[in-house]
Structure 1
Amino acid sequence: MYEVLMVVYLLVALGLIGLILIQQGKGADMGASFGSGASGTLFGSSGSGNFLTRSTAILAIAFFALSLAIGNLSANHTKAEDSWNDLGTEAAQAVEVSTEQAEDKIPD
């Protein structure tokens, strides 16, 4: 589940970057720089938003939601014991087992 969320998170991040890069800035219109009448309204000269701005907002919400979900999963995730960190005890157990087997094979 964690790996699937990470892949979706990466795809959402790349989509968000792409959508932001292809959008035109608010000051890029020639009329907006000279103070045309419609650019001073509440939503600006482009209206309440077109497809790109709405999809960017949806991807931004998905990005933050996935960030919170992945952060919650990784905070509550317990690490499995790494077998390479505890080699001494396994080696000692193997030596004890081999010495016990060797003692059983010594003839009287």
Structure 2
Amino acid sequence: MNTLSLVVVVVQVLAALAIIGLVLLQHGKGADMGAAFGSGASGSLFGATGSSNFLSKSTAVAAAIFFVATLGLAFIGNHHVSQSGGVMDNLPIPATVPAASQAAPAAPAAPADASKPADQSNQIPK
């Protein structure tokens, strides 16, 4: 199944690159706006776009291939999910900490020298 998803991803990327290239090659509709108001009788301002040419038909085919590849990837990706649970069911369970280490920390050990206190936090001058 991994090979199938790789093939579908390659098809999707090639279709996306084809869409980008075909859209950049096409002549925009906005380019005829100036001709409609100024010189000439262009009917493309408010309609009458005319028949579609080879580039627009090729763009439509590439877009259809892209959408089919996207739906295929969604189907392949959802096919591997277990039916009984969700996303969180696939996470690893962390190791539990023993109960002895969860207890309160022990009191500090007695200092080696009895004349010096172990905790000097109360020795802050005021």
Same fold per superposition (TM over 0.5): yes
| 1:20 aligned partner | 23
SS of the aligned residue for 1:38 comes to coil
| 2:44 aligned partner | 39
Q: Give CA deviations for 1:18-73 in whole Å, capped at 9, x if unaligned.
A: 111111110213424548243257442xx220000010011111111111111111
Identity, % of aligned positions? 40
- The residue type paired with residue 36 of structure 1 is A
Higher mean alpha-carbon deviation, 28-37 vs 68-77, is at 28-37
Residue 72 to residue 48, structure 1, CA distance change in 2 (3 Å): same
Following TM superposition, the consecutive aligned residue runs of length 4 or more in structure 1 with deviations greater than 3 angstroms are 32-35, 40-43
Higher mean alpha-carbon deviation, 33-42 vs 68-77, is at 33-42
| 1:92 aligned partner | none
Asked if the contact 1:27–1:33 (Cα under 8 Å) also holds between the matched residues in 2, the reply is: no
Aligned length: 80
* TM-score w.r.t. length of structure 1: 0.61
For structure 1, the 5+ residue unaligned runs are: 80-84, 89-108
Residue 4 to residue 52, structure 1, CA distance change in 2 (3 Å): same
Residue 62 to residue 78, structure 1, CA distance change in 2 (3 Å): same
Q: What RMSD, in angstroms, separates the aligned Cα atoms of the two structures?
A: 2.6
Asked if the contact 1:15–1:59 (Cα under 8 Å) also holds between the matched residues in 2, the reply is: yes
Distance in 2 (CA, whole Å) between partners of 1:26 and 1:78 is 45
Distance in 2 (CA, whole Å) between partners of 1:8 and 1:33 is 44
Q: Which has the higher contact order (CA 8 A, sep 6+)?
A: 1
Which of the two has higher C-alpha Rg?
Answer: 2
| 1:5 aligned partner | 8
| 2:61 aligned partner | 58
Q: Greater share of helix residues, 1 or 2? A: 1
For structure 2, the 5+ residue unaligned runs are: 83-91, 96-126
Distance in 1 (CA, whole Å) between partners of 2:60 and 2:18 is 11
- The residue type paired with residue 31 of structure 1 is A
SS of the aligned residue for 1:39 comes to coil
